[in-house]
Amino acid sequence: MFFPVVDSKDARDGCENATPDMTSPPRYAIIAAMNFADRLAHASREKNSVVVLGIDPQLDAAGAPGIPPGYTLARFCCEIVEACARSAVAVKPQLAFYEARGLEGMRAFCEVVKLARKLGLITIADAKRGDMGNTSVAYAEAFLGDGDFNCDAVTVNPYQGSDTVMPFIAKVKSGDRGVFVLVRTSNPSSGEFQDLNAPNRPIWESVASRVNEWGSDFIGASGLSSVGAVVGATYPVQARRARELMPAATILVPGYGTQGGTAADAVASARADGSGFIVNASRSLLYAYQKKAGAKPIEAAAEYAESMRQELNNALAARRTGALSHTA
């Protein structure tokens, strides 16, 4: 995998009616192919950021924010990505919001991924796929192959068993791709099944242990594995336990912002050295403009992304300071 050196104006090719360059994001150097976890760790160090842009355009329905007036789906999503690229390391479009819009939605998904790559951002398809046999093989090819929907990584649901995950891990083995396995999710009712004992510990802990096993063959120079996990910010106690069970996993942390997770909650997934985690914001970022009278959608999202980056870095620094005080 190579990250092309591009100017912002070039990166906007394919995004209809894109606005003039407002962010002047830095140019990215070309780097040779490497382990997915190493690429993510490199991007995080370069930008001093763990921010992931959840590009999840809510549906145009009663009570939902939808697409702001004056924007098409593709233009809104692409301009958000471009404006926030300086502050983020990755984008994570949730497939449901694109699939629900049919062909227009999937075209917009492809444009978001294409633009993100041109801006040097890592792409994560939030698909939560997983099924039996050849079905998982097809899902893995769709999102980690070379087709229209291919991304650098994909989220995977392991709750049907190991055989549903193996086709995705095979893609990790054959290239520089990654997977994020659902372990302890951020939704309110996640504990209904994930916290059940099986037989002497919660099911999610058993899944975490398997993720640790699956990932042991894919640890890069960073000490992190390309087989990662999804652990919600809304359950920081479980997040700390998850880190104990998966010391080398790259953890994707949803739940920050609208779902109630704070920066202090989110950094609970970090390793002792502060590495090994990335934090997603979706609705709170895309619709930041709704929180401030007169704010413009794109500028508000960019301000939110940068504020999020700083807030997470401050929380990480505070955690390190607290750890040092306990050992002094």
pLDDT at residue 30 tops 50: no
Active-site hit among 9, 47, 118, 128: 128
Mean pLDDT of 176-198: 80
Give the model's confidence band at 194: pLDDT under 50 very low, under 70 low, under 90 confident, else very high.
confident
Nearest by Cα to 159 from 129, 189, 201: 129
Q: Are 285 and 260 in contact (CB under 8 A)?
A: no
Share of the chain above pLDDT 90, in %: 72
* Lookup: tokens for 64: 């939902």
Read off the pLDDT of each residue in 110-133 and give the average, rounded to a whole number: 96
CA distances from 199 to 44, 164, 194, 214, 281 (A): 38, 22, 12, 21, 35
Distance set, CA 181 to CA 17, 82, 155, 302 (Å): 36, 28, 6, 29
pLDDT exceeds 60 at position 107: yes
Residue 163 has pLDDT above 70, yes or no: yes
Q: Percentage of the chain with pLDDT > 70?
A: 86
Binning pLDDT at 50, 70 and 90, where does residue 198 land? confident
Q: Check pLDDT > 50 for residue 43.
A: yes
Cβ 309 vs Cβ 49: under 8 Å: yes
pTM for this entry: 0.87
Contacts of 198-202 with CB under 8 Å at 24 or more apart are: none
- Both tokens assigned to 99: 């699939």
- Is the confidence at residue 31, as pLDDT, over 50? no
CA-based max dimension of the chain: 59
d(CA 315, CA 145): 37
Q: Which residues of 237-269 are buried (b: 16+ CB within 10 A; e: fewer)?
A: ebbebbbebbebbbbbbbbbbebebbbbbbbbb
Query: What number of other Cβ atoms are within 10 A of residue 95's Cβ?
Result: 21
Give the tens place of pLDDT for each residue, 310-326. 999 999 999 888 765 55
Phi and psi at residue 280, in whole multiples of 5°? -100, 140
Can you say whether residue 17 is alpha, beta or left, with left for phi > 0 and alpha for psi between -120 and 50 degrees? Answer: left
Q: How far apart are CA 156 and CA 57, in angstroms?
A: 21
Helix or strand holding residue 79 (H, E): helix 73-84
Any idea which of 53-67, 135-149, 150-164, 237-251 has the lowest mean pLDDT?
Answer: 53-67
Q: What is the mean pLDDT of the chain?
A: 88
Nearest to 237 by CA among 201, 265, 218: 265
Residue 167 binned pLDDT confidence (cut-offs 50, 70, 90): very high
The model's confidence at residue 298, banded by pLDDT at 50, 70 and 90, is very high
Contact criterion met (CB below 8 Å) for 225 and 216:
yes
Quick one: tokens of 266?
């989110």
173 catalytically annotated: no
CB atoms inside a 10 Å sphere around CB 317: 12
25 near 85, Cβ under 8 Å?
yes
